[in-house]
Amino acid sequence: MKVSKILLASAMLGSMMLASCGGPEAGESTADASASTSKAASSKKSSTSKFSAIWSKDASQHVDANCEHEGKDVEVCINSSLGSVKETVIAKTPHTWGTRSEKVEAEGKTGYWTNECSVCHTKAIIIDALDWTKIEGSNKDNTGATLKFSTNGNYAEYEFNMPTALTNVTIGVYGWVDYWKDGSNNNDQRGFFSTKAGDGSANVGVKVNDTDLTITNTKTYEEMGMTAGENGNSSFCLCEMGTMASIAAGDFKLTYTRLESYNLNITEIWLMYK
């Protein structure tokens, strides 16, 4: 009789341990198992609710994040025989840029710098956004420290001799957003697709030679890495816009245009490539 009681107690304990990690039953997905577990919990109190899952990180499956790819942490439930696991995505890290080159300048042309990431060896051509060869409209920043247009359709052109052909070019702008803290920044325009019109169109445009850049970054500036800065404004941030398949060597012209009301003040335009 005593042996039977011991076996019964062991079986019940094992069942509790299996239930504690919420492992799916045979033929049931993890999502389905979670749904059924939640439903059961709402209908009656589980007799095993006091048993919590014990998770342990599996170092052999950890992947470090870097500027090329996301990383991950993997945890395994150690009080379950079902092999229950959960993964946590680790966000990509920013590039680790080295020391910039001397500014490349030529008479009548836009100046630029070059740089390279020491981790993934992505290269960058960094255009001085205040060194335009032509501007149509007025710069809203009276100090001349950044570029921000006052009227839709205003644009600036940048021209120089591209030293080498580029492929898979990510284009971005470096700048900050004003009126960050008080919420008065033109209907909270904190992204490339935030406009007064609210029609889902981009508020700025970039054209390289005769090719328009398709802006694909729908993140907010906060999601791109901006934080609150000084004087009610945001911090500076490199905001990627989209990717262009190739840019030819030789004569180069980039046009940066205000398409709709926006709130981004820029100092540089970045071309990043391998």
Residue 38 lies in a domain: no
3-class DSSP state of 156: strand
Residue 201 lies in a domain: yes
Residue 35 lies in a domain: no
Note whether 141 and 268 are same-domain residues: yes
Residue 41: its pLDDT value, please?
Answer: 41
pTM of the prediction?
A: 0.75
**CA distance linking residue 266 with residue 274, whole number of Å:** 24
Query: Which CA distances in Å does 89 have to 62, 64, 65, 73?
Result: 10, 10, 9, 7
Note whether 260 and 217 are same-domain residues: yes
CB 260 within 8 A of CB 194: no
- Kindly report the number of other CB atoms within 10 A of residue 17's CB atom: 19
Per-residue tokens: 93: 């890290």
Residue 54: its pLDDT value, please?
Answer: 87
Residue 105 lies in a domain: no
Residue 106: its pLDDT value, please?
Answer: 96
Residue 81: its pLDDT value, please?
Answer: 67
Residue 45: its pLDDT value, please?
Answer: 46
Residue 181: its pLDDT value, please?
Answer: 63
CB 220 within 8 A of CB 122: no
- Between strands 112-116 and 211-212, the pairing is unpaired
Q: What is the DSSP string of 203-251?
A: SEEEEETTEE-------BHHHHT--B-STT-B--EEEEEEEEEEE-SEE
What domain range includes position 137? 112-273
Phi, psi of 189 (to 5 degrees): -80, 95
Residue 203: its pLDDT value, please?
Answer: 92
pLDDT < 50: residue spans in the chain: 1-19, 23-49, 185-187
110: closest CA among 59, 62, 156? 156
Q: What is the DSSP string of 88-148?
A: EEEPPPPP-B-PPPPPB--TTS--EEEEEBTTT--EEEEEETT--SEEES-BS-TTSSSB-
Overall number of domains in the chain: 2
Residue 12: its pLDDT value, please?
Answer: 47
Domain boundary among 65, 93, 121: 93
**CA distance linking residue 67 with residue 120, whole number of Å:** 7
**CA distance linking residue 33 with residue 17, whole number of Å:** 16
Residue 160: its pLDDT value, please?
Answer: 98
CATH of the domain at 154: 2.60.120.260
Residue 44: its pLDDT value, please?
Answer: 43
Residue 151: its pLDDT value, please?
Answer: 92
Helix (H) or strand (E) holding 30: helix 30-43
